[in-house]
Each structure stands twice: as structure tokens, then as C-alpha cells.
């Protein structure tokens, strides 16, 4: 039996035998739900790339290609999401094939310290989370997309995992105690936001499900504590390469503790009393979060180890990432039967699932934004024979989110609360749902676009 409670999917513990085809299906379905956003970014690059990055016209066109389809396909049009993705994907592939030179391009690809694929992945996380945290309160939001209380791999289960990965991709390994002093600039704001959210929710008596992170903890606390703990753990290694062994060892130790009874306790119906029992969901997930965070730092260092790549070098790199993604998907399917996929505890299965999703998205983004669209520009512009290609402008939608991602996330949370308290989303019909969500997405993305135009960067 499954039931919906407070925006979550609740599975009866007696039926969680872990031999779960449901989790396998959910893990794939959830990944496919992100594809319309991915296609929106690609279409924006193809159809709006000729417009100035900071033009209002470009932003509005990109909203129609990214924001509006996202709203429709996660609510009233969810049944047509796969059809939309298939049709648009075939169109994009046909266009890029037709407009690409068939010989091997003589280009040098600049990876940079902040690769555009990382920027696109981050924008995907922020865009999807912004839509989901309010859409879940409307009746038109699909039941299967809601967070799982126990085991599961639903669409909303991806959120916190994607944030941990994107945080790790742009972080540095802590090398000495002097580096720890710099943490206050990145960790302290997250902890302050977490405390502020807890205080405000308690003050206005706003409903918060305790089985998500616990009675007092929230996503801001989890991200801040993950970065803090990850920084201390990284002092144990002497090189970036050793982060791989540290993170895997930490992940296996974490899973061992879960299998020894911690997972059962966290998912039990025991009352949320006291600090540790009251926040057992968030506290139990921390070491899994840290393991994923350290893995992300390691991957980023590997990806950016060579600043310039030839065409064959880039192809080899992408093949390696694709192979790693396939391995992670296989481990995800195996874990769904053996140990389970659980966001609430950041289990081994959950970590490899999020890794599979992120690696798959990186391959897709690199294929289009590093290879195909670069080659289209090279062919169309008849670039000079110096063997170098100028960096592509990313969609304005992406640039805005990348510049003020945390601000966008905070604004999304604030407006979600306002809509819940004033517009009663639980009793809105389909037309009203789409209208409210469209305005909400437009305001959130428009705010950070204005900040981008004015050169304002907060966080």
C-alpha cells in the first residue's frame, strides 16, 4: 500500500523487501523528467544564441523555451513529457547532424576551471527545484514525483543530491588549517539561513514534515554541515587523487552502519523527541552527503586536469564519463534490490543513483555544448585557421542562475511560502495551477536576470 501524506510518498515498511522493480523504474523515470529542461537549454542556445546575452528579448524567449514547458510538463502535461522529449530530441539531433562538418574538427577545446557543463548542471538543479517545491502543493502535480519517506527514487528525491554534487564541483580540497578559516564565507551563510528558516517556520506555525530532515534541520543546514564536515575530512588526504579512496571508504562505512540497524531506526515510526531522535533523518544522512561531496570534488579535479583538449582527447574523456555513468546505473539497479535507494539516509544506492544522473547529464551537455554546437559555430562563422574557438555564450537563463543561484533558491522558498499562505494551491484547478506556477517561475528567474543585467552578485 502507498499513501500520500504532506507532499510525500509513504510506503508501508512491511512491503519494503528491497527487491524493488519500483525503485528501478523510478530512478529512470526521474532522470527522464529532467530532459525537457535540458532540451530547453539546448533550444535556447540554438534559437536565441544570436541575441545579446543581457537583452530582455532573449530572456523572454528563453522563458518560453525553458520555464513554460517545465511548468506544463510537471503538472497538467506530465503524461506527454516523454513524447515532448522524444520529438524535440530528434529535431535537435537532426539539426546538429545536418549543420556539422563531417571531418574531424581541428579545434582546441578550452575546459577551464569552471567548465560550462558544471554550470549547466547547476542551472538544471536550481531550475528543477524551483519548479518542484511549489508545484508539489498543486493537485495537478503527479503523485509519483513526490519525495519518498523511506526507500524510493522519485523526481523530488533528486533535489538535495544534485545540490550536494554542484556544491562539490566548484569546491576545493582543504589542504591546511588556514583553508579552514576561509570556510566561514561559504558555510556560515548556509547555517544562518538554516537557522532563520527554522525560526520563521516555528514562528508562523508553518507545516514542515519532520520525516524529511528532522524537526529542526533543513536543506540549508544539511548543505552547510556537509561542506564543513567534508572540509575537515579532506585534511586526512595529501592529494586530490586520494579523495576517491576517502570518499568511497566513507560511503561503505556509512552503508555498513545503515545495514546494522540505523536505517530501520530512521525510517521507523518512533516519535521525534529530543535532538538526536528528533533530527535522525538529517543527522543520519550527513556522512552519505559528505561522501558524495568529496566524490564531486574528485571528479571536478579529474575533469579539469587538462585545460586544453584536442577533439580526439575530448572524445576519449566523454567515453570514459559515459562508461562510468553506465557503471553507476548498473550499481543503482543492483542497489535497489540489495540495499535500497533512500534519500532520507543518503544510502549507497542513493549516492550512486545521483552520480549516474549527474554523469549522464554531463555527457549530454558536453555532447551538445562542447562538441556539436561548437562545430556548428565553427562551420557557420568560418573561423580562422588558428585552431582555437571562442567560448560559447550560455543561455541567459543559465547565466542568471549561475550568478545568483542561492539567491534564486531563497526567493523560490520565500514565494512558495507566500503562495501557500495566500492562494491555497491545494484547491486550484489545472488552469489556475499553470497560471500561478508560470508567474512564480517568471518572477524568480526574472529577479536574477535583472541582477545579472545590473552586475549584482549576492550568492
CB of 70 within 8 A of CB of 401? Answer: no
Is 165 inside a domain boundary?
Answer: yes
| Nearest CA among 36, 40, 132 for reference residue 395 | 40
Which one, of 187, 100, 26, lies nearest residue 375 by Cα?
100
Q: Return the pLDDT at 363.
A: 95
The reply to whether 318 falls in a domain is yes
DSSP H or E stretch at residue 346: none
Whether residue 343 is contained in a domain is answered as yes
Average pLDDT for residues 398-424, to the nearest whole number? 89
Q: Model-level pTM?
A: 0.89
For residue 309, is pLDDT > 50?
A: yes
Cα separation, 424 vs 261, in Å, equals 40
**Residue 429 domain-assigned (yes or no):** yes
DSSP string of 14-41, one letter each residue: GG--S--HHHHHHHHHHHHHTHHHHHHH
Residue 227 in any domain: the answer is yes
Contact at 8 Å (CB) between 400 and 56? no
Helix (H) or strand (E) holding 340: none
Q: Which residue has the higher pLDDT, 412 or 98?
A: 412
Query: Cα–Cα distance between 211 and 205 in angstroms, integer?
Result: 17
SS3 149: coil
Angstrom distance (rounded) from CA 134 to CA 175: 40
pLDDT band at 383 (very low <50, low <70, confident <90, very high): very low
Using 50, 70 and 90 to split pLDDT, how confident is the model at 3?
very low
Which residue's entry shows cell 543559465? 398
With cut-offs at 50, 70 and 90, classify the pLDDT of residue 206.
low
Does pLDDT of 66 surpass 70? yes
- DSSP string of 160-219? HHHHHHHHHHT-----SHHHHHGGGGTHHHHHHHHHHHHHHHHHHT----HHHH-SS--H
> Does 321 map to a domain?
yes
Chain segment 139-180, per-residue pLDDT in tens: 999 888 988 888 889 999 999 999 999 999 998 888 887 778
Calculate the average pLDDT of the chain: 85
The answer to whether 132 touches 163, Cβ cutoff 8 Å, is: no
Q: What are the tens digits of pLDDT across the range 87-137?
A: 999 999 988 888 765 555 666 777 766 788 999 999 999 999 999 999 999
- How many distinct structural domains can be found in the chain? 1
pLDDT of residue 277: 84
Cα dist from 341 to 171, 255, 346, 369, 439, whole Å: 26, 11, 8, 31, 35
Contact present, 370 and 314 (Cβ < 8 Å): yes
Is 459 inside any structural domain? no
Going from the C-alpha of 322 to that of each of 82, 312, 325, 328, 403, the distances in angstroms are 22, 15, 5, 10, 28
Is 234 in contact with 183 (CB distance < 8 Å)?
A: no
Query: Which of 156-170, 318-332, 375-389, 439-453 shows the lowest mean pLDDT across its residues?
Result: 375-389
Do the domain assignments include residue 458?
no
| 314: containing domain | 2-453
Strand residues in 35-115 grouped as ranges (E)? 108-110
Q: Is 292 exposed, middle or buried (0-12, 13-18, 19+ CB in 10 A)?
A: buried
Q: Is the pLDDT at 454 greater than 50, yes or no?
A: yes
CA distance 445 to 128: 12
Above 60 in pLDDT, residue 375? no
Amino acid at each position: 500500500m502507498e499513501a500520500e501524506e504532506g507532499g510525500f510518498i509513504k510506503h508501508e515498511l512491511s512491503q519494503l523487501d528491497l527487491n524493488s522493480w519500483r525503485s528501478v523504474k523510478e530512478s529512470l523515470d526521474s532522470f527522464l523528467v529532467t530532459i525537457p529542461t535540458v532540451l530547453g537549454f539546448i533550444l535556447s542556445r540554438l534559437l536565441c544564441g544570436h541575441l545579446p546575452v543581457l537583452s530582455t528579448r532573449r530572456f523572454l524567449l528563453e522563458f518560453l523555451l525553458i520555464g513554460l514547458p517545465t511548468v506544463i510538463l510537471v503538472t497538467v502535461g506530465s503524461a506527454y513529457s516523454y513524447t515532448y522529449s522524444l520529438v524535440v530530441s530528434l529535431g535537435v539531433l537532426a539539426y546538429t547532424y545536418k549543420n556539422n562538418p563531417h571531418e574531424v574538427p581541428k579545434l582546441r577545446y578550452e575546459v577551464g576551471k569552471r567548465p560550462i557543463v558544471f554550470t549547466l548542471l547547476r542551472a538544471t538543479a536550481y531550475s528543477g527545484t524551483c519548479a518542484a517545491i511549489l508545484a508539489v502543493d498543486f493537485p495537478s502535480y503527479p503523485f509519483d514525483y513526490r519525495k519518498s519517506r523511506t526507500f524510493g527514487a522519485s523526481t523530488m528525491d533528486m533535489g538535495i543530491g544534485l545540490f550536494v554534487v554542484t556544491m562539490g564541483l566548484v569546491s576545493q580540497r582543504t589542504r591546511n588549517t588556514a583553508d579552514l578559516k576561509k570556510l566561514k564565507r561559504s558555510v556560515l551563510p548556509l547555517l544562518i539561513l538554516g537557522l532563520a528558516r527554522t525560526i520563521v517556520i516555528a514562528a508562523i506555525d508553518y507545516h514542515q514534515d519532520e520525516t524529511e530532515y528532522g524537526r529542526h534541520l533543513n536543506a540549508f543546514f544539511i548543505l552547510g554541515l556537509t561542506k564543513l564536515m567534508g572540509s575537515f575530512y579532506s585534511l586526512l588526504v595529501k592529494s586530490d587523487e586520494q579523495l576517491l579512496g576517502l570518499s568511497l571508504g566513507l560511503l561503505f562505512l556509512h552503508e555498513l552502519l545503515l545495514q546494522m540497524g540505523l536505517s530501520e531506526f530512521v525510517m521507523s515510526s518512533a516519535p521525534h523527541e529530543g535532538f538526536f531522535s528528533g533530527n535522525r533523518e538529517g543527522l543520519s544522512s550527513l556522512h552519505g552527503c559528505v561522501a558524495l561531496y568529496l566524490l564531486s570534488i574528485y571528479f571536478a579535479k579529474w575533469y579539469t586536469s587538462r585545460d586544453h583538449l584536442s577533439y580526439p582527447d575530448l572524445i576519449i574523456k566523454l567515453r570514459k564519463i559515459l562508461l562510468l555513468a553506465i557503471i553507476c546505473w548498473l550499481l543503482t539497479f543492483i542497489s535497489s534490490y540489495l540495499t535500497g535507494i533512500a534519500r532520507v539516509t543518503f544510502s549507497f544506492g542513493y549516492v550512486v543513483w545521483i552520480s549516474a544522473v549527474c554523469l549522464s547529464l554531463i555527457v549530454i551537455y558536453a555532447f551538445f555544448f562542447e562538441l556539436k554546437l561548437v562545430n556548428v559555430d565553427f562551420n557557420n562563422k568560418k573561423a580562422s585557421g588558428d585552431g582555437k574557438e571562442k567560448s560559447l555564450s550560455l543561455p541567459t537563463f543559465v547565466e542568471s542562475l549561475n550568478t545568483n543561484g542561492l539567491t534564486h533558491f531563497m526567493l523560490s522558498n520565500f514565494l512558495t511560502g507566500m503562495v501557500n499562505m495566500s492562494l491555497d494551491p491545494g484547491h486550484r484547478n489545472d488552469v489556475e495551477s499553470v497560471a500561478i506556477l508560470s508567474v512564480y517561475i517568471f518572477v524568480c528567474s526574472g529577479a536574477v536576470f535583472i541582477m545579472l543585467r545590473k552586475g549584482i552578485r549576492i550568492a
